[in-house]
Structure 1
């Protein structure tokens, strides 16, 4: 039986875990509490690996990025589209969160210190103090803003290091990816325990809550794919964007939906870019770079789940603060892992703006894993199809 389960995809196993967890909660509610250990261990494992994951992957990505003079003329506008697209995606998620506020089911300690930021000045003060935190302390305390700062700074410094040092960083990133894949492979067991306990405690009302959360997430990503991206492509190419947009969604988005990995979809995107006339010198840099840092779907996930957490905890924020959340989500999304569920581990970065504890933030990550069957697949489809879409758009842009 275990061998048969191991042969199933992660998505299938998560679906089975959710169904079994609901069944246990309905038919054996008195037994469900005994299963909490599975969910607790899974959340603990996520909390342990997330800081190292962000630090190593961002450091290695920046240290090994090099653009030759032959393609820099097109790489720069592609990178600009990546950044603008992620920010607009996060901003779209802000409006969606305002229009459809979502409440999560969180286990908030009675003595939790949840002080909303008093002013914009206080937010910037917290940001600055987080930026200059000791790197060891930042990792040990899961201060993701400090972790991002140090990983970027060291990544820039390592760009001048020897090739052997950069190779070591790549090997370290691969090793961390292996660890996170191992942790995420345990997701079905952890989700089984989480679902069983949650549904036994609150009943089937959880379905409605997750249903709204999924609707906001997927609806926002579809809006980005079918409205925001076409507008950007039309601005760059000066022609009807939908033939290109739909082709990228069909030939890149569908495969990414099922592989749930932007990295795994790189060969598909390179082949599509080649067939659409993009020079290999441009595609070979832009497509892998996009798989590492172009995460429009991740910025949507981070923003929506963070603001849902803020709404659940009753923290009042103004629109300007939400724009800042969009900026943080955009920056954080660049550090999302290339494996399934990577963006969820960046949620604590944005939650840190509101002094939300790591324990609560990782509960939100666990909720994200429960809905990741659809959320992460849709997110990856948006991320990966946008890589090749923006690359082709810049290549097809009329010359001045």
Structure 2
């Protein structure tokens, strides 16, 4: 009896001292920087190996997560599923366009005053530096993220309209059980191991010199881009708060875990589990958050667009390449579509953008294998995590708006 009492007391103490997700993520970032800066290569490679194994598992689960959550989120919308889906896509695309255009306006006016002609050459030296793991495990996903999104659209919309009318409930119940399995995997395996993934990312970046390259050379550009991200996040949540009649400051506070996770993982898709919890705190209904958050993780690229546009502007200014709003807007409109489903891995957005950089740099300078594009990639990668954090934060702002639209237009009719 006494042993049981002692065991209960130990559990209570553990619950009291249990560290929350955000502190664990911050600790992982700090440890990653310290290990990458001061520990030997063999130790860094060990951390990167473990992080790489988890990354392979995460990439395998992400399409299944999208399929499960988006399908059930749309299927549970008894009214206006197709309309809400269209509204979400339009808001996400519009936000991406506005973000890119605003980034060009700010960058073209501020950057000329503090650009260094040889700064990008110094940054480019870290582009190919990377810490490799001792081994890797090949775990190819069953389907890619774009296929998962399209299949989820088809299944979700059909189940929403046909369930109990033209078809039975067997497929719906199967997808519901499948969603429960994925949810179990996320909360018992993926979320607890995210700090390890984040630590490995920062070990690699710090040891190879990427983390401090941008700060030591183009820190003004770096700070300007981060300020644009934060301002855009604030505007989005103030708009969402106004539409939904909620305190925008509270909404921003609720987003801190999602922002921090994205900062470490550099992947919008990898942040979905945490972002779903943030949306829950925002009061977004389960069916809305289950389709808006995973969907926007693949189509809402406002932060990445801000970073890419700012980096492209910086590269043009440093290399005396002509750039104007007339060339930037078509590039932004094209990239807003091309970047769909690119967030599966760090740097996915810039790799997707490479074939389209000729629209800004010209055919010769815009060669994807040329030095200008290589410098563009190096400059972007050093700021990628902040763009991703802006992406996922905007996803939840959209979720709040779509949830309010659903309650006003469709929920009352159900």
Pairwise TM-score range, normalised by the shorter structure: 0.5 to 0.7
> Does residue 222 of the first structure (1) align with residue 234 of the second (2)?
yes
In the TM superposition, what whole-angstrom CA distance separates every residue of 1:243-300 from its partner, at most 9, and x where no partner exists? 5466252444422334663321454344xx7xxxxxxxxx564344334434599522
| Aligned equivalent of 1:148, options 143, 146, 149 | 146
- Quickly say closer, same or farther: Cα 1:35–1:216, change in 2 above 3 A: farther
Q: CA deviation at 1:170?
A: 1.6
| Aligned equivalent of 1:177, options 177, 186, 197 | 186
TM-score under structure 2 length normalisation? 0.57
Which residue pairs with 2:175 in the alignment? Answer: 166
- Quickly say closer, same or farther: Cα 1:69–1:353, change in 2 above 3 A: closer
| Aligned equivalent of 2:396, options 384, 389, 393 | 384
Give, in whole Å, the separation in 2 of the partners of 1:352 and 1:143. 21
1:294-313 alignment, distance < 5 Å: 294=296, 298-306=300-308
Give, in whole Å, the separation in 2 of the partners of 1:244 and 1:170. 30
In the TM superposition, what whole-angstrom CA distance separates every residue of 1:177-232 from its partner, at most 9, and x where no partner exists? 35543542204532552354227984951782653442232233234344xx47xx
- Does the CA-based 8 Å contact 2:237-2:251 persist in structure 1? no
> Does residue 71 of the first structure (1) align with residue 79 of the second (2)?
yes
> Does residue 332 of the first structure (1) align with residue 341 of the second (2)?
yes
Q: Secondary structure at the match of 1:247?
A: coil
Which residue pairs with 2:127 in the alignment? Answer: 108
In the TM superposition, what whole-angstrom CA distance separates every residue of 1:149-198 from its partner, at most 9, and x where no partner exists? 35523763586672453245324533653554354220453255235422
- Does the CA-based 8 Å contact 1:17-1:188 persist in structure 2? yes
- Quickly say closer, same or farther: Cα 1:393–1:163, change in 2 above 3 A: closer
Give, in whole Å, the separation in 2 of the partners of 1:69 and 1:213. 38
Q: CA deviation at 1:38?
A: 5.6
| Aligned equivalent of 1:322, options 297, 308, 332 | 332
- Does the CA-based 8 Å contact 2:275-2:396 persist in structure 1? yes
Which residue pairs with 1:280 in the alignment? Answer: none
| Aligned equivalent of 2:66, options 58, 63, 66 | 58
Give, in whole Å, the separation in 1 of the partners of 2:53 and 2:310. 23
- Does the CA-based 8 Å contact 2:67-2:149 persist in structure 1? yes
In the TM superposition, what whole-angstrom CA distance separates every residue of 1:54-101 from its partner, at most 9, and x where no partner exists? 4212222344345578522xx555434322221122112322443438
- Does the CA-based 8 Å contact 2:229-2:306 persist in structure 1? yes
Which residue pairs with 2:352 in the alignment? Answer: 352
Give, in whole Å, the separation in 2 of the partners of 1:67 and 1:382. 24
- Does the CA-based 8 Å contact 1:17-1:189 persist in structure 2? yes
- Does the CA-based 8 Å contact 1:255-1:381 persist in structure 2? no
- Does the CA-based 8 Å contact 2:32-2:203 persist in structure 1? yes
> Does residue 289 of the first structure (1) align with residue 291 of the second (2)?
yes
| Aligned equivalent of 1:262, options 270, 275, 283 | 275
Greater alpha carbon shift after TM alignment, 93-102 vs 81-90: 93-102
In the TM superposition, what whole-angstrom CA distance separates every residue of 1:98-146 from its partner, at most 9, and x where no partner exists? 3438979564349xxxxxxxxxxxxxxxxxxxxxxxxxxxx84x899x5
Q: Report the aligned-residue RMSD.
A: 5.1
Q: CA deviation at 1:310?
A: 6.4
- Does the CA-based 8 Å contact 2:93-2:300 persist in structure 1? no
- Quickly say closer, same or farther: Cα 1:225–1:100, change in 2 above 3 A: farther
Which residue pairs with 1:84 in the alignment? Answer: 90
- Does the CA-based 8 Å contact 2:103-2:310 persist in structure 1? yes
Count of residues paired in the alignment: 322
Which has the higher relative contact order, 1 or 2, with Cα contacts under 8 A spaced 6 or more apart? 1
Greater alpha carbon shift after TM alignment, 101-110 vs 14-23: 101-110
Q: Secondary structure at the match of 2:127?
A: coil
Give, in whole Å, the separation in 2 of the partners of 1:155 and 1:390. 17
- Does the CA-based 8 Å contact 1:345-1:365 persist in structure 2? no
- Does the CA-based 8 Å contact 1:332-1:346 persist in structure 2? no
Which residue pairs with 1:94 in the alignment? Answer: 100
